[in-house]
Amino acid sequence: MFNRTALVIFSGGLDSTTCLYWAVKNYNVVHTLTFLYGQRNVIEVEYAKKTAGLIQKAGKNINMHFFKIDLSQIGGSALIDKNIAVPKRRTLKDIGCGIPITYVPFRNGIFLSLATAFAEKEDLDDIIGGWNMVDFSGYPDCRENFLKTMERAINSGTKRGIEEKPIHVVFPLIHKSKMEIIKFGKKMGADYSYAYSCYEGKEIPCGECDSCILRKKGFTEAGFEDDFLLRLKREGKF
């Protein structure tokens, strides 16, 4: 156990769910922060609550926080602007190339700044997120260099930083592929029955957006069936 307290940026997706399992294993005090930011797939927030419920049933306390911020006021991304279509059936080569239309301008900068405000208010030590660079979709604000520089900015602009109780930005998945993230989660007993990834936001994942494609590849390579699809099958929905 680390002798620090944790704030997990928890979207309800596969990566942040893995982070949450990692956090409850390593920290005694775990808070989560979930954003309702006008995302097309806001259904992930309801699933986030279900995943947290599963973990709490297993005896781990989680303090959930929610923050509403309507990023559609900025626009410019298929994830927050319903007039822009989510790209479908792209090849892995295309997914790995360039910055896609699902990029929400500086979303992780915004989320990290808001998480910092929560950490200041609640006096929490570490901000943890599921950012990763291997199978990432080309988002500039998911890179390790950005996260490290942002950590420096956070500590030069907060009460905690000035008082020499620096906030750490922690990214346990940064160098892991989707396959490795799933293996890492499964080793900790992660249950992905409610970990939602699809950009479309419908109950049944589309299977064709970048996020669905990378997830499917990850589960196949890791040698597991996808808990989410298994649950849908059990419920007769898939």
Nearest to 183 by CA among 195, 169, 173: 173
Query: Shortest Cβ distance from residue 80 to a second copy (Å)?
Result: 10
Is residue 48 at the binding interface for a second copy, with CB under 8 A as the rule? no
Segment (H or E) for 185: helix 178-187
Strand, helix or coil at 197? coil
Q: Which of 162, 165, 202, 203 binds a second copy (CB under 8 A)?
A: 162
Residues 71-90 that bind a second copy (CB under 8 A): 71, 73-76
Q: Which of 105, 166, 201, 207 binds a second copy (CB under 8 A)?
A: 105
How many whole angstroms separate alpha carbon 65 and alpha carbon 7? 10
Query: Shortest Cβ distance from residue 174 to a second copy (Å)?
Result: 14
Would you say 67 and 114 are in contact if contact means Cβ atoms under 8 Å apart? yes
Nearest to 186 by CA among 128, 146, 232, 226: 226
Residues 49-68 that bind a second copy (CB under 8 A): 66-68
126 has which bridge partners?
6, 168
Q: Using CB under 8 A, which of the segments 3-11, 48-56, 140-148, 206-214 binds a second copy? A: 140-148
| Interaction site with a second copy (CB under 8 A) | 66-71, 73-76, 99, 103-110, 112-114, 116-118, 120-121, 140-141, 143, 145-146, 149-150, 152-154, 156-159, 161-162
